Chains A and B, each alone.
Chain A
Amino acid sequence: MDARRFSDRLKVIYVDDEPDIRIIVEMALALDPSLDVRIAPSGREALGIIANGFVPDIALLDLMMPEMSGKDVLAHLRDMPQFAKLPVLFITANARQADVDRYINEGADGVITKPFDPLSLARNVRDHFERISALRESE
């Protein structure tokens, strides 16, 4: 990783087409003040936020969305050299171990299952980020 410190605010982008879940995730992640969260209702808007200068440290993508699915957003992100190694988590209700393995094979770095515990969501995202960062450093 670059010179980032863990004390820095972790920039998170979250994409979900469900407004209620967006609000809950926003509130759940807001419980951790060290997270700088941007929420987008679609992949296209998320890519717009990034294009407008928000450089996320980690992306949380809902899988099943109209127009652009989570996988499509991931593909777009991976196409951009600066995000080739961006930690990306899928948030999905379909998360059997076999599915998780498949998502990982398809380029995701981790999966958060719905429904999630809102009180530990932020901790969960941080844990994923630290695990993925450690993994990237060892590569």
Chain B
Amino acid sequence: MTGEEDPPGQSRSFELRAGLAVLLLIPLLLAALAFWFGTEYRRLGSSEDEVRQGHARQLLISELFSSIKDAETGQRGFVITGNEAFLEPYREGRRDAQELLQALWAYPTTEVDRRGLERFQQISEEKFREMERVIGLRRSGGLATASAAVSEGYGKKLMDQLRSEAEKARATEAQRLTQTLARQNERTRTTEQISWFIVAMVALTFIGIGVLFWRSEHRRASYERVAREAAARRRAIFDSTLDALVLINPSGSIETINRAASQLFGYPENDLIRRDISLIVDLAPGEGLFLDRIGLTGKGLAEPFRHNLAAHRADGSTIPVEAALGTMPLPDGVHIVAALRDISEREKVERIKDQFLSTVSHELRTPLTSIVGSLGLLRGSLGQEFPAAMLRLVVIAENNANRLIRLVNDLLDIEKLEAGEMSFDFQPVDLRDVGTRALDAVRGMAENQNVELIADFAADPVMVRGDAERLIQVFNNLLANAIRFTPAEKTVCLQITRRNSHAEASVIDSGPGIDAELRNRLFTRFAQSIQVPAGQTRGTGLGLAISREIVRNHGGGIWYTPATTGGSVFSFNLPVWNTVTGQPENGAAPRVLICANEAEARGIADALENRSVRADVVDTASAIMTAFAQQHYVALLLDYHCLGDNPRLLHEIHSDPSLRTLPVIAIAGGEEPGAKLASLDVVDWIPRPLDAIRLNTALASVMARARHAMPLILHVDDDTDTLEITAAALEGRARMARATDLASAREMIAQDRPDVVIVDLGLPDGCGEQLLGELGGEAAIPVIIYSAQERNGAFASEVAAVLTKSRRSLSTLVETINDILARQKQTAQQTAQQAAETSDGR
């Protein structure tokens, strides 16, 4: 699904990026255009200034020339008339000419203009000097002299030159003006174009934004449609599923339920929304936060399947349900999805089946007992009087009646095994003894078949924790099959040996082997070979299936391999039981960490290996903390010379709450370690040279301490089988105290405060519930009700769990206890840490 969605997702993301890039680029482009527009606009302004200046210069030049002409007119009037009044316009013209020249100089000019202006100024100055000279001559020599001077034509020549210069200047200005105007026109056009470009860009930006908005809206609409369709599909599945589904929010109230839940509990759907889940089924009894009560840990739910819970319906009735819980992490916390299934029908069927099996057991065995008994009597006491052929018929009838009995027994066994209702009497046993007993049991059959039995057993004891009777049943099944399929004068060999942490038993026959087709379903019911050797009775077809279940219940496995000689090898293995530690050795054997020089440490480790205590060896102090981080150790064997490379180690161990109480056995070179190790919990010290007895004593004391450190569980139940089974299931995890009635339970609680109490409801001297009040209080002891009785209504709040004895209830009980113990350990560690911090603070 995700794979299909990815390519469009990538394309959408590309489009979005491209759109954003365009939207970012457009403002940049607009800014650049605005800058350009500004520059052009400023240039346009300066062109206008130039035009204005050109016009002004042209005007000034015309005015200058006019004022010189005015001055010349005045001078001529004076020359002709000699009237001084005519000199007034001359003087005015001369003054104006000077001012206008200065004004012309004030305009910025090109080199050409400057040279023209200089020439104009020189000529005009020369003209005024000439006019002054003529005026002077008029005054001194009269009209004739002055007229003669004028007639020389110098003045006129100067005036012509001035006219020519003025014309030139005007022409230059006119040309420049034309050019400026042309440029200005060009710039106006450019500015206009830029303006249009900006308008286009802005329009484009708006169009772009519009398109993006439309597309986003379109997508949102299509996503909403897809989401609505998906929600509708899920809702349809949610509503059409047969199991009741309840979605619970992190506070423990119901968020939504499906139709099946509404029907199962008899509430309209909306009536349960926001109501606490305990209204319909108490998934998480006790006090505290819902998610804590329901057993949510970092790894998920400690107990995702709950069997046989009492669910309360709207009409007040109670029905048994089983619940499968799942988690749904959402931003506002982890939600719980509970799938609840009404198991009242199944329970009814179970009861009918149990009743049926019990009837079968009794009603089939009873007539079979009569038949076998009658035939036995016939064969034994009357045999001599019967013809041989008739006797043979009696034997056939007896054999088949016995086979029917075996079949009934096997059927009952497999039903019980598969339902998890078979009880096992687990005891430490030497598998070789069990094997010997099994061989003895089939010896008669082997002799009848003329098959030789060979025992090939390990020389040392092969200890396992098992139910000897049930293991004999496994051996008998395997050996009987092997003998049945082995030809006369051949052998059947039983091998029992130890392989690492497992005991392994193999039955090797000299038969024809097993067809490849049959091998895959060998351990299923009625998986029998069609070819049964002549003269052999068939087995029940259940032996291997029963054997597999028995072996599995012992924590082992069973398998088939073809023998190299052509026969079959049926093998099974079981975890080796450590009689010293009282624990299985498959990884759970207690570990000690040894920090010493390598040779010495290796020697100690080998010695411990014989005791079935696992040892890890390090030779530097810095490796100790690394080892602690990876494994749990029951003790540290420490040569304090190791501390040389890390003197801070003691502090590190002391400041770790889980290591502070770790027992340390110190190895000292002649002198006692003394104050150096004072911050550690040194339980013993062993001087060099190491003495094996001293080492063993120290280790035994550590092991005893480790066992004592185990939590104490009190189990109160009048059924000793239940006590046995529970004790077996919890062995290695806790010390078990057992009581069969309330009085002895009270006595035990008074003597030694248990960490957890498991209590049955129906006890000979009262109801187990009576204990609840006595175990509460400030430091309440967690109580698990473990009873075959169903109890309607709620218990007092201090009950940690209510489990009904049924299929697989033992595993639920063990999980619940593990969960409680883990929480207790965590709380204890936190308390220890807080206490340590408080004392450090002081």
Contact = CB atoms under 8 A, between A and B. Distances in A.
Interface stretch (A3-11, A74-82, A116-124): A116-124
A98 B467 CA distance: 10
Interface stretch (B231-239, B372-380, B447-455, B508-516): B372-380
Contacts of B405: 115
Contact of A28 (B367, B368, B377, B469): B377
A20 interface: yes
A136 interface: no
Contact of B377 (A96, A102, A114, A119): A119
Interface string B347-385: 000000000000001100111111011101101110000
A115 B365 contact: yes
Contact of B366 (A18, A98, A101): A18
B366 A102 contact: no
Contacts of A96: 423, 469
B361 A119 contact: no
B369 A116 contact: yes
A75 to B, nearest CB: 15
Contacts of A118: 372-374, 376-377, 380
A105 interface: yes
Contacts of B362: 64, 93
A64 B423 CA distance: 21
Contacts of A24: 369-370, 373-374, 377
Interface in A78-126: 93-94, 96-98, 101-102, 105, 114-119
Interface in A30-89: 31, 64
A134 interface: no
- Most A C-beta atoms less than 10 A away, residue of B362, B373, B380, B469: B373
A119 B381 CA distance: 8
A24 B369 CA distance: 9
A98 B377 contact: no
B721 interface: yes
B369 A102 contact: no
Contacts of A105: 720
Contacts of B63: none
Contacts of A31: 380-381
Nearest to B381: A31
A119 B377 CA distance: 6
A21 B442 CA distance: 28
A98 B373 contact: no
B425 interface: yes
Contacts of B379: 119
Interface string B390-426: 0000000000001001000000000000000001010
A105 B377 CA distance: 33
Contacts of B365: 93, 114-115
Contacts of A117: 376
Nearest to B380: A119
Interface residue range, chain A? 20 to 34
B720 A27 contact: no
Contacts of B721: 98, 102
- Which of B361, B376, B402, B721 has the most chain A CB within a 10 Å cutoff? B376
B744 to A, nearest CB: 16
Contacts of A94: 361
B366 A116 contact: no
Q: Which one of B377, B720, B721, B724 has the greatest number of beta carbons of chain A within 10 Å?
A: B377
A32 to B, nearest CB: 12
A28 B373 contact: yes
A27 B382 CA distance: 12
Interface string B719-761: 0110010000000000000000000000000000000000000
Contacts of A20: 367, 370, 374
A26 to B, nearest CB: 10
A14 to B, nearest CB: 13
A84 to B, nearest CB: 22
B361 A93 contact: yes
Nearest to B422: A96
30 contacts: A20-B367, A21-B366, A24-B373, A24-B377, A25-B373, A28-B373, A31-B381, A64-B362, A93-B361, A93-B362, A93-B365, A93-B369, A94-B361, A96-B469, A97-B467, A98-B423, A98-B721, A102-B721, A105-B720, A115-B365, A115-B373, A115-B402, A115-B405, A116-B369, A117-B376, A118-B372, A118-B373, A118-B376, A118-B380, A119-B376
Given A93-B366, A105-B720, A118-B372, 11 more contacts: A18-B369, A24-B369, A24-B373, A27-B381, A93-B369, A96-B469, A102-B721, A114-B365, A115-B373, A118-B373, A119-B377
Interface of B: 361-362, 365-370, 372-374, 376-377, 379-381, 402, 405, 423, 425, 467, 469, 720-721, 724
